[in-house]
Structure 1
Amino acid sequence: MSLPVHLVESLAGVVVGSVVEVTGDEAHHAVAVRRLREGEHVVLTDGRGTSVTGEVASTGKRLFTVRVVSVDVSERPHPAITVVQALPKGDRGELAVEVLTEVGVDRIVPWAASRSVAVWKGERAAKSLAKWQATAREAGKQSRRSWLPTVTPLATTDSLTDVVREADLAVVLHEDATAPLSALDVPASGRIVVVVGPEGGITPDELALLEGAGALTVRLGDEVLRTSTAGVVAVAALLSRTERWA
């Protein structure tokens, strides 16, 4: 059975024999909800490549300590995958973030596309972004990732041009495209960007802007997928052709 994973702020300088203290909501969930007890073994990760395995040395109301028995440092995986996810309606945004995190995406960019049904403004924008970030953290722990994905603030279409330009390969998923995703050459390193449109589709103006920045318009297949699932299917198809899934 896999050991439970808990997220900590930093593991800098931690070595075998160190005692790491976990506090706050993370500790409360472990102690009060999961009933974590002294002597159990857990994994701690900082989400930036370092994970440790250790034995719970003590527990309190909103804290527990772990004595480290092993340390693992992982390099950031390559190629790095960014998914630009147009805002879906309802809770499909959290679903998209969850599965994208589980499949190994490194950065998720929420996008206010012209035809997005959902709208993030004011206080709702802050709450929605926080919910996406929390979903990514929990999915990252569940999938035992040493590197957790970044969920950026809401992007406009104009700001996406910079995201596309910095990529070694950028693709826009579109049901009317003639070029299949499977025919592309996938870079072994660098950054890959996948743009997923909203339920209403990407507008011609948005498509022209993204293509002008260097994105390729591609299709997955004959079937039309939901915006909340198209990204994870595309990323899986790309990762299967890299050393990350070798």
Structure 2
Amino acid sequence: MSSLYLDETLDLAGVAPGASVVLDGDEARHAVTVARVRVGERVSIGDGRGRIVAGEVAATESRRLELAVDEVREDPEPSPRLTLVQALAKGDRDELAVQAATELGVDRVVPWAATRSVSRWEGPKAEKGRARWAAIVREAVKQSIRSRIPVVEPVAATRELPARLQGERMLLLVPGAETPLSGIRHDGRDLALVVGPEGGMDPAEIARLVDAGAEPVRLGDSVLRTSTAGPAAIAVLSVALGRW
């Protein structure tokens, strides 16, 4: 399997086998000088918006790579879309969740400043944190050779979630909830998985979201870490939705 390199400025619409595509800038530098890609090796280049072209490397320079395209992949917008609302967590647990969720197929990520979140994104730290998650998502897309880069939105407070997720089916991952996630039947809406921090969701927070239409669901009898709950739920839904 070839390695994937991304350039969101590329226009790959209409590119067909037999064409040449040029990758330049920092992504090309990484391919040529860090990954040591050489002429004749097979790589893929994506635009992050659903298109990937693959083929053999025809030429390289320090910040330029030319690809002889022999394969084109174009993926439609996923339906339904899966959103991960991941509570901010201490250490790198939230980052691990975002990385794994991206590899497993999440379509959008919303950082959530939950009541019990120890980590706080305030002031300039809010954009710095969002950018950090966006970089993690981008690298996970490359590792898993996905054609679309999930959007990482600005951090949201609990009161903002209903508006951010308007029209989506909100599923709160709450240990001990009566309804199992595996029992959910798709009703046509996009799905948003809401994952709490290390200490779980505050009861008042759960009540507020339930009043806004959210549904508490459980993954099983065990209690998962915030770093594994979201990815596990995405795996369950990917099977149920026929993605896998």
TM-score, normalised to structure 1, is 0.93
Measure the CA separation in 2 of the matches of 1:20 and 1:213: 48
Shift of residue 85 of structure 1?
A: 0.2
Measure the CA separation in 2 of the matches of 1:118 and 1:91: 10
SS of 1:126's equivalent? helix
Measure the CA separation in 2 of the matches of 1:105 and 1:78: 12
Shift of residue 60 of structure 1?
A: 1.5
Matched, 1:30 2:10: no
Give the percent of matched residue pairs that are identical in Structure 1 and Structure 2: 50
Alignment check: 8 A CA contact 2:25 2:63 kept:
yes
Shift of residue 130 of structure 1?
A: 1.3
SS of 1:77's equivalent? coil
Shift of residue 43 of structure 1?
A: 0.8
Shift of residue 27 of structure 1?
A: 1.1
Matched, 1:192 2:195: no
Equivalence for 2:209: 210
Measure the CA separation in 2 of the matches of 1:190 and 1:183: 16
Measure the CA separation in 2 of the matches of 1:190 and 1:175: 24
Deviations 1:116-153 (A, max 9, x none): 01111233222221111111111111111112211111
Shift of residue 67 of structure 1?
A: 2.1
TM-score, normalised to structure 2, is 0.93
Listed as ranges, the gaps of 5+ residues in structure 1 are none
Matched, 1:70 2:71: yes
Deviations 1:194-229 (A, max 9, x none): 100111221122212211221101111111111111
Alignment check: 8 A CA contact 1:3 1:41 kept:
yes
- What is the root-mean-square deviation in Å for CA atoms of aligned residues? 1.5
Measure the CA separation in 1 of the matches of 2:125 and 2:105: 27
Equivalence for 1:222: 221
Deviates most, 221-230 or 177-186? 177-186
- Which aligned runs of 4 or more in structure 1 are off by greater than 4 angstroms? none
Measure the CA separation in 2 of the matches of 1:159 and 1:220: 25
Shift of residue 112 of structure 1?
A: 0.6
Alignment check: 8 A CA contact 1:161 1:209 kept:
no
Superposed counterparts of 1:1-246, under 5 Å: 2-9=1-8, 10=10, 11-167=12-168, 169-187=169-187, 189-245=188-244
Shift of residue 15 of structure 1?
A: 2.5
Deviations 1:78-108 (A, max 9, x none): 2210010000111112211110001100001
**Match of 1:216, as an amino acid?**
E
